[in-house]
Amino acid sequence: MRYLGVITLLIITTLNSQAQQLQDFLNDPGSIHGNFEMNTQYYQPDSSISAQQPPEELGFNGYLNLIYNRGNFEAGVRYESYQNALLGYSDQYEGNGIMYRYAKYKADNLEFTVGNFYEQFGNGQILRTYFDPGFGIDNSIDGVRVKYNLKGIYLKGLIGKQRNYFEYGDGIVRGLDGEVSFNELIDQWSSSPLRFTVGGSLVSKFQDDNSTLYTIPENVLAYSSRFNLNYKGFNLNGEYTYKYNDPSADNHFSYRNGQALLLSTSYSRKGFGITLSAKTLDNMFFRSDRNNNSQFPELYINFLPTLTKQHTYNLMSTLYPYAIQYNGEISYQADVIYTFKKGTLLGGKYGTTIQFNASYAANIDTVSLNDEATERKLYETNLFESGDKFWHDINVEISKKFSKSFKAKFTYQNLFYNIDVIQGKPGEPNVLANVVVADLLFKLDKKNAIRTELQGLFTEQDQKDWATVVVEWTHSPNWFASVIDQYNYGNEVVEDRQHYVTANVGYIKGGTRVTLGYGRQRAGIFCVGGVCRVVPASSGVSLSITSTF
Amino acid sequence: MKNTLFTMLLLALPFLIYSQEKSQTGIPNVQIQNLDFTHFNTGDIENDGNPIIISFWATWCSPCKRELNTIAEVYEDWQDETGVKLIAISIDDTRNINKVAPYVNGQAWDYEVYIDPNSDFRRAMNVNNVPHTFLLDGSGKIVYQHNAYSPGDEEKLYELVKKLANGEAISH
Task: Encode A20-81 in three state secondary structure.
Answer: HHHHHHHHCCCEEEEEEEEEEEEECCEHHHCECCCCCCEEEEEEEEEEEEECCEEEEEEEEE
pLDDT for residue A302 = 96
Asked if A71 lies within 8 A of B126 by C-beta distance, the reply is no
pLDDT above 90 coverage of chain A, percent:
78
Asked if A274 lies within 8 A of B13 by C-beta distance, the reply is no
- Crossing angle for the helix pair B153-165 and B62-82, to the nearest 10 degrees: 30
Site from B4, B7, B36, B44 to mutate, A interface, most A CB atoms within 10 angstroms: B36
Among the residue ranges A163-167, A304-308, A535-539, B128-132, the one predicted with the least confidence is: A535-539
Q: What is the distance between the alpha carbons of residues A130 and A458, in angstroms, rounded to a whole number? A: 36
Where do the structural domains in chain B lie, given as residue ranges? 26-165
3-class SS of residue A187? helix
pLDDT digits (tens, 9 = 90+) for A234-251: 999 999 999 999 999 999
Q: Considering just the CA atoms, what is the radius of gyration of chain A in Å?
A: 27
Chain A residues with beta carbon closer than 8 angstroms to that of B13: 73, 75, 103
Region A9-26: mean pLDDT is 74
What length does chain B have?
172
Query: Does the pLDDT at position B1 exceed 60?
Result: no
Q: Which CATH number is correct for B26-165, 2.60.40.3140, 3.40.30.10, 1.20.58.220, 2.40.160.40? A: 3.40.30.10
pLDDT digits (tens, 9 = 90+) for A335-386: 999 999 888 888 888 889 999 999 999 999 888 777 666 666 678 888 888 8
Site from B147, B160, B170 to mutate, A interface, most A CB atoms within 10 angstroms: B147
What are the φ/ψ torsions at residue B154 (nearest 5 degrees)? -65, -25
* CB contact B159 to A (< 8 Å): no
Strands laid side by side in the B112-115 sheet: B39-41, B31-34, B112-115, B85-90, B52-57, B132-136, B142-147
Nearest to A477 among B22, B29, B146 (CB): B146
pLDDT digits (tens, 9 = 90+) for A404-417: 999 999 999 999 99
- Annotate A254-280 with three-state secondary structure: CCCCEEEEEEEEEEEECCEEEEEEEEE
Q: Residue B21: which pLDDT band, with cuts at 50, 70 and 90?
A: very low
Q: What is the distance between the alpha carbons of residues A271 and B75, in angstroms, rounded to a whole number? A: 17
With b meaning 16 or more CB within 10 Å and e meaning fewer, what string describes A278-291? bbbbbbbbbbbbbe
Distances (CA, A) of A289 to A174, A246, A282, A286, B33: 14, 10, 19, 9, 32
The type of residue at B62 is: S
Q: Which of residues 31 through 50 in chain B touch A, CB cutoff 8 A?
A: 36-39
3-class SS of residue A339? strand
Query: Does the pLDDT at position B16 exceed 50?
Result: no
**Strand stretches in A83-140, DSSP E:** 95-107, 110-117, 120-121, 127-128, 131-132, 137-138
pLDDT for residue A108 = 85
Our CA-based measurement puts residue A344 at a distance from the nearest CA of chain B, in whole angstroms, of: 16
Region A194-201: mean pLDDT is 97
**What is the rounded average pLDDT for all residues in chain A?**
92
Q: Residue A525: which pLDDT band, with cuts at 50, 70 and 90?
A: confident
* CB contact B61 to A (< 8 Å): yes
Nearest to B102 among A33, A154, A273 (CB): A273
What are the φ/ψ torsions at residue A253 (nearest 5 degrees)? 50, 45
Query: Does the pLDDT at position A232 exceed 50?
Result: yes
Asked if residues A540 and A336 have their Cβ atoms less than 8 Å apart, the reply is: no
DSSP B44: G
Q: What is the distance between the alpha carbons of residues A53 and A56, in angstroms, rounded to a whole number? A: 8
To 5 degrees, how large is the angle CA A148–CA A152–CA A158? 30
Q: What is the distance between the alpha carbons of residues A489 and A463, in angstroms, rounded to a whole number? A: 9
pLDDT above 90 coverage of chain B, percent:
75
Run of H or E residues at A458: strand A448-459
Chain B residues with beta carbon closer than 8 angstroms to that of A338: 106
Q: What is the distance between the alpha carbons of residues A458 and A412, in angstroms, rounded to a whole number? A: 11
DSSP A214: S
Site from A186, A337, A407 to mutate, B interface, most B CB atoms within 10 angstroms: A337
The type of residue at A303 is: F
Our CA-based measurement puts residue A310 at a distance from the nearest CA of chain B, in whole angstroms, of: 6
pLDDT digits (tens, 9 = 90+) for A30-64: 899 999 999 999 999 998 898 999 999 999 999 99
pLDDT for residue A531 = 64
Query: Does the pLDDT at position B3 exceed 70?
Result: no
Give the best-scoring range by mean pLDDT among A19-23, A325-329, B86-90: B86-90
Among the residue ranges A174-183, B24-33, B147-156, the one predicted with the least confidence is: B24-33
3-class SS of residue B29? coil
pLDDT for residue A387 = 86
pLDDT for residue B19 = 40
What are the φ/ψ torsions at residue B68 (nearest 5 degrees)? -70, -35
Counting beta carbons within 10 angstroms of the beta carbon of residue A473, is it exposed (0 to 12), middle (13 to 18) or buried (19 or more)? middle
Q: What is the distance between the alpha carbons of residues A188 and A196, in angstroms, rounded to a whole number? A: 13
Q: What is the distance between the alpha carbons of residues B41 and A149, in angstroms, rounded to a whole number? A: 12
End-to-end CA distance of chain B: 41
Query: Does the pLDDT at position B149 exceed 70?
Result: yes
Contacts of A14 (CB under 8 A, 6+ apart): none
Q: Which of residues 91 through 120 in chain B touch A, CB cutoff 8 A?
A: 93-99, 101-108, 117-120
Q: What is the distance between the alpha carbons of residues B159 and B137, in angstroms, rounded to a whole number? A: 13
Run of H or E residues at B57: strand B52-57
pLDDT digits (tens, 9 = 90+) for A488-505: 999 999 999 999 999 999
pLDDT for residue A60 = 97
Our CA-based measurement puts residue A313 at a distance from the nearest CA of chain B, in whole angstroms, of: 10
3-class SS of residue A370? coil
Asked if residues A393 and A359 have their Cβ atoms less than 8 Å apart, the reply is: yes
Q: What is the distance between the alpha carbons of residues A319 and A356, in angstroms, rounded to a whole number? A: 21
- Annotate A130-156 with three-state secondary structure: CEEHHHCEECCEEEEEEEEEECCEEEE
pLDDT digits (tens, 9 = 90+) for B52-107: 999 999 999 999 999 999 999 999 999 999 999 999 999 999 999 999 999 999 99
pLDDT for residue A166 = 96
- Identify the CA nearest to A127 among candidates A239, A217, A255: A239
pLDDT digits (tens, 9 = 90+) for A432-478: 999 999 999 999 999 999 999 999 999 999 999 999 999 999 999 99
pLDDT for residue B26 = 74
State which residue of chain B sits closest to A64, comparing Cα positions. B126
DSSP B117: T
- Identify the CA nearest to A337 among candidates A273, A411, A264, A410: A273
